[in-house]
A and B are shown apart, each in its own frame.
Chain A
Amino acid sequence: MSATASPGLAPGHDPYHLGGSRDGRGDSAATGRGAGGPAPKRIVVAYGFWIFILSDIVMFAAFFAAYGVLVGGTADGPKPQELFDLTHVALETGLLLLSSFTCGVATLALTARRMALFQAMMAVTFVLGAGFLALELKEFADLIARGAEPSRSAFLSSFFTLVGCHGLHVGIGLLWLLTMMAQVLTKGFRDDILRRTACFALFWHALDIVWVGVFSVVYLLGVIA
């Protein structure tokens, strides 16, 4: 027996192969650390979409930075304290939070292959998201009616850009939501449809994270400023 081979190992076994254990036992079947073979497509697709979401968040960060810099530039126009209604914002926040929850339940229903529950939860998510969007549009209309339009001051320009960009994302998300409801209904629980729906769920939850930043930085900090 040579000095390099340990007893009990098959000849040709490489104790240093990626993800393997030194003693040749206990190889994990989980992917992601090199063991267990290539990652399933579900993981790879979610990773790719996660990169997109992060780049989207970087874009929002630029709008947040612009808002943070320009919030003082009211040009003798209305200030944040005079414009924002916290009750309205709390209602919007509640709708979006609940829609995130129902979207999560829809994802679970999808993996459990329960069509009726999935469609019902997606429909509730749509109603909650549409309610959020309607409230936001109503707020914008009220602001513009009071003379606080985007062209009034640097503060209002950056406000409408930031909050409007989030609202635009919610609107696109609602269209995507309807698409996924129709695709699951007509194409069934196919693997590619499941992956698409998982990407939609990631997108929807990420919008909620951005909204946490919006209601904290724009509305709550704006009211106390």
Chain B
Amino acid sequence: MSAADQAAERSKRHRADVAPGEAYPEEDIAKGIRGYLIGLGLAVLLTACSFAVVRMNFIWAPAIPVAVIVFAIAQMGVHLVFFLHITTGPDNTNNVLALAFGVLFVVLLIGGSVWIMANMNHNMMHSPAPAPSHAHH
């Protein structure tokens, strides 16, 4: 393919429905750096919030773990969008579907394990001796 053909192909792609963050060879580098800077700023902000909530006791103690988890999930989203460029663009449909499956798997694996084992520990604490199954509800 000649250089002119490649340039024509690129300009055709540019007019098309292209996801933000999709880098093409001739793209402006400053624009890209701005995107990464926004991502870095948001990530630092969320990390700082997480550490601040734990270190300074300015929120209700039982809410601290919830806040930390929420900040962590938000920061993972920031990383996915600004660093990994998972977008809603047409070239990203398959990536988003794979990510959805991954999230489902992770939630089932971690949530299920912790839930079941916490339940088991709870039951073990209340009945150290093996109890007849009909006596339990």
Residues in A lying within 8 Å of B, measured CB to CB: 28-33, 36, 39, 43, 46-47, 50-51, 54, 57-58, 61-62, 64-66, 68-69, 72, 86, 90, 93-94, 97-98, 100-101, 104-105, 107-109, 111-114, 202, 205-206, 208-209, 212-213, 215-217, 220-221, 223-224
- Can you sample 13 A-B contacts with CB below 8 Å? A29-B15, A31-B90, A39-B91, A47-B98, A57-B106, A61-B109, A65-B114, A69-B113, A90-B51, A100-B79, A112-B27, A216-B50, A224-B54
A113 pairs with B25, CB closer than 8 A? yes
CA separation between A101 and B37, bound complex, in Å? 7
Q: Which of B34-58 contact A (CB under 8 A)?
A: 36-37, 39-40, 43-44, 47, 50-51, 54-55
Residues from chain B with a CB closer than 8 A to the CB of A69 are 113-114, 117
Give A192 Cβ to nearest chain B Cβ, in Å: 15
A221 pairs with B109, CB closer than 8 A? no
Residues from chain B with a CB closer than 8 A to the CB of A107 are 23
If A32-B91, A43-B91 are given as contacts, then 13 extra A-B residue pairs at C-beta distance below 8 Å, sorted by A number, are A32-B89, A50-B95, A58-B109, A65-B114, A69-B117, A98-B40, A104-B39, A104-B83, A112-B25, A114-B29, A208-B83, A209-B84, A220-B54
Q: Which of B1-50 contact A (CB under 8 A)?
A: 12-13, 15-18, 23-25, 27, 29, 32-33, 36-37, 39-40, 43-44, 47, 50
A220 pairs with B25, CB closer than 8 A? no
For the complex of A and B, list the 3 residue pairs with the smallest distance between their C-beta atoms, beginning with the closest. A29-B16, A65-B113, A216-B72
| A interface majority secondary structure | helix
B16 pairs with A216, CB closer than 8 A? no
